[in-house]
Amino acid sequence: MRIVFAGGGTGGHLYPGLAIANAVRALDPGVALYFIGAERGIEREILPSSGFNYLLLDLHPLYRSRPWENWRTLAGLARAYGAIGREFAREMPALVVGTGGYASGAALGYAGTRGIPIALQEQNGEPGITTRFFAPQARAVFLGVPEAAQRLRVQDPSVLRDTGNPITPPPEPRPDRGAARHAWGFPERDGLVLLAFGGSQGARGMNEAMAAWIARGLPPFVHIIWGTGRAAFDRYAHLARPGLAVRAYLSPIADAYAAADLAFTRAGALTLAELCAWGIPSVLVPLPTAAADHQTANARALERAGGAVMLPERELTVDRLDAVMRGLLSDGARLRALADGARARARPHAAHEIAQQVLTIAREASAT
């Protein structure tokens, strides 16, 4: 039996597929697992070392500002259909699981024309165009955020399944917080640890606000782990000192989560799933240019659930950041309430749960 995972372009679309696929492999090592991605996506760097066989397609985006160039999009899609057809002819999948992105749309579209069952995993509270288009045909839509169900049209509501986003769960037992702090060079018990990061490439507005806040003078009880992003590290590395750890990229990030009392981050779906799994309250600055403003929808959902505070980037001044951080870090009861709200949304074993359901759907399809 073969299951194909299709998606990528960004880590937010690729890593959920990898998490589910690894969970499927753990449950049933005999299943053949295969990935379809795009040559221009992050998958070209990640899939070669993933341990899975894969196909990368020469796909182009929609050129909304230069519509005369959309012939490239159509030509790439035609080539992609041919490549997918040849691969599926070699071994027909029992199920295609789409996780978003152009490659996902191509594979799901081909599967739909051949009667191959499909399933979807939607990471965000504002579903992407691929999920919205294919949801009516899907055997299951695994929702990372339950609010997404309100924005999807399906023939049978039972297709929409609130599973949470697939992530690597925190280890059990949890790392000792004092030991984690010590590993970062912080006191094991005194003070609070703020974890700040904006992704692998960083977030300019967040970095500038952090630098200005540091220059103004941090509260004496605050220790900081700051992931600037690789592109911005050289600009801020000189600010490192005892109590302020500056890193280009936080990997493995579990070491930082284990030490953190509060996070200052973007509002990507997988980041929020990890924060909830670790029970870390957060101040969220949604990426204003995210497609369909989906990070704002993610942040609002977690804020309404009592697990975070949203701070729009247009309001991100050093004065506002100082007021929000001092207010939270000096209010233990508020931090505990936010942590409880985050934990209430946690679905640390989502990958395992989704994998079980994927296997069930695939086996049922294979039996017919």
pLDDT digits 0-9 by tens, 13-72? 999 999 999 999 999 999 999 999 999 889 999 999 999 999 999 876 666 667 776 667
Q: CB burial class (10 A; 0-12, 13-18, 19+) of residue 273?
A: buried
- Residue 66's φ and ψ, nearest 5 degrees, are -135, 70
- Tell me if 106 is assigned to some domain: yes
Look at residue 291 in the predicted model and tell me its pLDDT: 82
Domain with 315, as residue range(s), is 177-344
Whole-angstrom CA distances from 232 to 8, 204, 250 are 25, 8, 13
Q: What angle do CA 112, 118, 121 make, to 5 degrees?
A: 130
Look at residue 76 in the predicted model and tell me its pLDDT: 64
- Tell me if 190 is assigned to some domain: yes
Q: Are 27 and 59 contained in the same domain?
A: yes
206: Cα separation from own chain's centroid: 19
pLDDT < 50 positions in the chain: none
Q: Are 247 and 332 contained in the same domain?
A: yes
Q: Are 108 and 143 contained in the same domain?
A: yes
Q: Are 200 and 276 contained in the same domain?
A: yes
* Contact yes or no for 191/225 (Cβ under 8 A): no
Q: Are 200 and 244 contained in the same domain?
A: yes
Q: Are 66 and 196 contained in the same domain?
A: no
pTM (predicted TM-score): 0.90
- Tell me if 339 is assigned to some domain: yes
- Tell me if 172 is assigned to some domain: no
Q: Are 55 and 148 contained in the same domain?
A: yes
Instruction: In whole angstroms, give the CA distance from residue 87 to residue 211.
Output: 50
Q: Are 339 and 196 contained in the same domain?
A: yes
Look at residue 71 in the predicted model and tell me its pLDDT: 67
- Tell me if 50 is assigned to some domain: yes
The set of residues, in sequence order, having a beta carbon less than 8 Å from that of 338 and lying 6+ positions away, is: 281, 282, 306, 307, 308, 309, 328
* Contact yes or no for 119/111 (Cβ under 8 A): no
Q: Which pair of structure tokens corresponds to residue 107? A: 């594979």
Q: Are 287 and 362 contained in the same domain?
A: no
- Tell me if 42 is assigned to some domain: yes
- Tell me if 20 is assigned to some domain: yes
Instruction: In whole angstroms, give the CA distance from residue 114 to residue 112.
Output: 5
What CATH number is given to the structural domain containing 185? 3.40.50.2000
| Number of domains within the chain | 2
Q: Are 147 and 184 contained in the same domain?
A: no
Look at residue 63 in the predicted model and tell me its pLDDT: 62
Q: CB burial class (10 A; 0-12, 13-18, 19+) of residue 30?
A: exposed
Instruction: In whole angstroms, give the CA distance from residue 244 to residue 193.
Output: 10
* 92 CB neighbour count, 10 Å cutoff: 13
Name all contacts of 243-247 with Cβ < 8 Å and 24+ positions apart.
Answer: 243/185, 243/186, 244/214, 244/218, 245/184, 245/185
Q: Which pair of structure tokens corresponds to residue 348? A: 């640390």
Look at residue 66 in the predicted model and tell me its pLDDT: 79
Q: Are 198 and 292 contained in the same domain?
A: yes
Q: Are 241 and 153 contained in the same domain?
A: no
Q: Which pair of structure tokens corresponds to residue 368? A: 């017919």
- Tell me if 160 is assigned to some domain: yes
